[in-house]
Structure 1
Amino acid sequence: MIEKYLDKESVIPESCFIHELATIAGGVKFGERCSVWPNASLRGDSCNITFGDNCNVQDSVVVHGYDEVVFGDYVSLGHGCIIHGANIDDNVIIGMGAIVLDGAKIGKNCIVGAGSLVTSNKVFGDGLLIVGSPAKAVRKLTEDEIRGIIENAEEYMVFLENYKIESMKKACK
């Protein structure tokens, strides 16, 4: 479901795929080739939410906040994670069930481990593995791990294309 909230409308390029069971409300702006999967809830009512290119918002993700929420390019939001008022830079995976709270900033080329809690206003630099509750940077990522972040996002772009083809087939019946 895609709905306007007051004077805020979403911007969704043709290259994106939004699953029919996802909810997008208010000021949510997507870059190219983004995908949003079942039961994700993106509420741009009290703030704007902006995604760069090639992002994927997996099943049951929640994004909301009181200050602008910004995602760079090639960001993967894992199943069931919650992003509230945070900024996530390019080439980042937020693991399944992780929570990233208001004012937090995650640098480029990072992985936030599944189930981690990034507390309010916590700032992490580039190229880090971030895990725990509260989350801490435990080491630098390897070059292979950084390449894996982009590969993960590219896998979701394949899903995006396949689902778009299937949606078009249904519409033609």
Structure 2
Amino acid sequence: MEKALFAGGCFWCMVEPFEEQPGILTVLSGYTGGHVENPTYEQVKSQTSGHTEAVLIEFDPKMISYEALIEIYWNQTDPTDAMGQFMDRGDSYRPVIYYYSEEQKAIAEASKTALENSGRYTEEIVTKIEEASTFYEAEEEHQEFYKKNPRRYKQEKAERAEWESANAKGEQ
């Protein structure tokens, strides 16, 4: 089994697209990259802990590749927005691909370069690629949010899509 760690806005909207793939064992919502030990949702949301909201994915590389996970990631984020994702604004929502190995780093960098060269976006791709640091699991109410709160999740997804449509930034 291997791990992947991605930040791309509110973790509530990042779980389902990964969790529904074959070969995914777990997807945990949590926090990484900050300077506060064991941060709470409120600390991260207040933009004072330095963390991003992120999803930690445990996967079977024989069933789904890291490259495939990166492709899913690109389709869930706006890689041209360094200070948030969709209606989620601020440093804790910045897009980051965290890597656990030099191989993951190389795959992420190659994928980012391919996206930059694809012409899909006219603005600069600003998603960071950083070494993974300590991951803190979010509180239980944030795990599998889409299953526990389907109505609120549907509303979040709709608001995200509406915001994306109203604020399209150079996507061709």
Q: TM-score, length-normalised on structure 2?
A: 0.23
Higher helix share goes to which structure?
2
Higher strand share goes to which structure?
1
Q: TM-score, length-normalised on structure 1?
A: 0.23
